[in-house]
Structure 1
Amino acid sequence: MRGCKWIVVAAALTVAGGVQAAGDATAGQQKSAPCQACHSTDGNSPVGMYPNIAGQHAGYMTTQLKALRDGQRKDPVMSPMAANLSDQDIEDLAAFYASQTIKLGSVPEDVVAAGAQVYRAGNAKTGVPACMACHGPDGTGNDPAGWPALGGQHPEYITKQLGLYASGERSTDINNIMRDIAARMSKAEIDAVSQYVSGLH
């Protein structure tokens, strides 16, 4: 029944729609210089703890940058970076990075089966739903619902964010969905699915 609950929530939120950005990608590129140290010129970060934002949905990035700017989401690196961004700056940056192409990683053979199990089927015994119910079979996310793309994301970053959700330190998820799910996941499941999504496409 828990799996059905998440499917119903996913369907409702898809209909409800997410935040849509109306930015200018050219303007966003011109404003992206401060972002490049962590996210590179095209949004493919060379450092595992910083997210790849190339190809991420503009609506999702807009929502998260505003949350970081306004204090709903806290991060020691990004909160100060977002503090002085205007709404237009945020929408322009989101449009630029959304227009870039993410570089996919690879999945270690020893975690493919375990990662696929969590991502595609979840864990019925502990009430963990399949990740693909919200993030899609190929990890491209669900833009209208406001759910991010995960395919190609750094394992280190995914692991950190799931940990923050599980502890409640990050609370920008819709209706506590990610906090509830992450709190039910074992460390082994988090490790496996974090590595699995790196090569997902």
Structure 2
Amino acid sequence: MKIIIFGGTFNPIHNGHIHLAKCFADILQADRVILIPTNVPPHKRAPDLADAEDRLNMCRLAAEADKRFCVSDIEIARGGQSYTSETLTELHRQYPDAELYLITGEDMFLTLEEWHDPQVIYQLATICAAPRSPKGTGALLEYAKKIERNGAKTRIEDIPYYPISSTMIREAVKAGKSISSLVPAAVERYIREKKLYLGEMSTK
């Protein structure tokens, strides 16, 4: 069994996330894609982070369109900072015979050596990434060679990039602009109904 692990703040999850995960699922012929919203991201500040429950619910809504997709609250339930090494260790226990593939963004891939327990990550999963910039593929391949010398397994694919970011969506919501082309319809409805990203009160 091939399982793709795709973690992130997903604040909110958007069409770019789904596109990347679907492309990797097709390329790898994966049986399952597990979306894992982080509890507290260790690598970046998130001053306007929506509640964990809301981010989890939005991931579940986004996952409904593809039967390969499911959502795990493993990091939220664990609490504290969300370390990928701990998540992969737990998933390896749950799926001992599965091949695990970890999707990372371009910027995060290029900092893997600085992550918590990178050797654990290298041991348990093949690390996948795609470029988000015109020169991104070269930088990814160069860094992949570096971490492969330290035991990592990597998969770099030149997947067309959707120029969408969660920051763009939050700013659009705050400005009263449409986000219908940026997120799945069910996620858009959820954001509107829950009045997320409108200001300080939306982040609780």
Normalised by the size of structure 1, how large is the TM-score?
0.26
More strand per residue: 1 or 2? 2
